[in-house]
């Protein structure tokens, strides 16, 4: 779980994750929060059963926190969980099914396969669909939601893969490298409750440009 300035949601999202029986360990990577999140982590959350916390001294971005977390994982399966309550941990069981059936190595929780969602942020949806469209053109695939946070994967798919992304370009870089590696990717529908910018949403238009460049770059270089 990458975390940056989420003092209003961190208690609730940790509670929701730990309520899921499938969770073996919740690894929280705080990316240099400055709003009191770190104090909550140290005073209220650290020491809870199944929780491990890594506190980075410097804010570098979501991608940096996620890749550090992946490198520290001790289990066989990894799922990325944002700390902002947009994604519901109750979907873990649904995400697990394709792996349990032996038909997938990576599972994406798609926000565009018919699951319930809060209807806001039209232009964010458009940007997500455009980026997914270019992903499919460049990598000859039919994903519906490349930018989703919910990516559940076997840790072994990261063998030989180096992620350079520091910010929100993690999603396109991870997807590009999984598609080039030809691992089995499966999508399942999830519910989605997006928050508006006045509630702390952080991704912006420039991140979309950076994501598109990342897709193009890794299509043509190793």
Averaged pLDDT, 211-222: 92
Residue matched to tokens 């939601």: 145
Tell me: the pLDDT tens digits for 138-191? 999 999 999 999 999 999 999 999 999 998 899 999 999 999 999 999 999 999
Report how far residue 143's alpha carbon sits from residue 107's, in angstroms, rounded to the nearest whole number: 11
Q: Residue 202: is its pLDDT beyond 80?
A: no
Tell me the pLDDT band of 194, cut-offs 50, 70 and 90.
confident
What is residue 194's DSSP assignment? P
E strands in 65-167 = 77-79, 106-110, 151-154
| Main-chain dihedrals φ then ψ at residue 54, nearest 5 degrees | -120, 125
Q: Which CATH number fits domain 2-220: 3.60.110.10, 3.90.550.10, 1.10.357.10, 3.30.70.360?
A: 3.90.550.10
Helix (H, G, I), strand (E, B) or coil at 142: coil
For residues 152 and 106, is the Cβ–Cβ distance under 8 A?
yes
pLDDT, position 198:
58
Helix, strand, coil % in the chain, rounded to nearest 5: 40, 15, 45
Tell me the pLDDT band of 62, cut-offs 50, 70 and 90.
very high
Report how far residue 2's alpha carbon sits from residue 79's, in angstroms, rounded to the nearest whole number: 11
> What pTM was estimated for this model as a whole?
0.90
Report how far residue 61's alpha carbon sits from residue 167's, in angstroms, rounded to the nearest whole number: 4
Domain extents for the chain? 2-220
| CA 185, chain centre distance (Å) | 15
Q: Residue 116: is its pLDDT beyond 70?
A: no
Averaged pLDDT, 84-88: 93
- Percent of the chain's residues with pLDDT above 90: 83
Burial per residue of 11-43, b for 16 or more beta-carbon CB atoms within 10 angstroms, e otherwise? eebbebbbebeebeebbbbbbbbeeebbebbee
């Amino acid at each position: 779980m990458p975390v940056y300035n989420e003092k209003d949601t961190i208690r609730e999202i940790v509670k929701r994750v730990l309520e899921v029986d499938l969770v073996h360990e919740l690894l929280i990577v705080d990316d240099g929060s400055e709003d009191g999140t770190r104090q909550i982590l140290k005073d209220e959350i650290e020491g809870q059963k199944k929780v491990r916390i890594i506190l980075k001294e410097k804010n570098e971005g979501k991608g940096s926190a996620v890749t550090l977390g992946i490198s520290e994982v001790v289990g066989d399966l990894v799922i990325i969980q944002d700390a902002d309550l947009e994604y519901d941990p109750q979907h873990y069981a649904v995400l697990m099914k394709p792996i349990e059936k032996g038909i997938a190595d990576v599972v994406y929780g798609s926000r565009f396969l018919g699951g319930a969602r809060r209807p806001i942020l039209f232009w964010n949806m458009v940007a997500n669909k455009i980026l997914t469209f270019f992903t499919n053109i460049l990598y000859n695939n039919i994903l519906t939601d490349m930018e989703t946070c919910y990516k559940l994967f076997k840790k072994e798919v990261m063998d030989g893969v180096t992620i350079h992304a520091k910010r929100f370009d993690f999603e396109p870089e991870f997807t590009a490298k999984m598609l080039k590696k030809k691992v089995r990717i499966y999508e399942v529908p999830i519910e989605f409750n997006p928050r508006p910018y006045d509630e702390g949403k952080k991704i912006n238009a420039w991140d979309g440009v950076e994501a598109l460049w990342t897709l193009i770059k890794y299509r043509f270089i190793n």
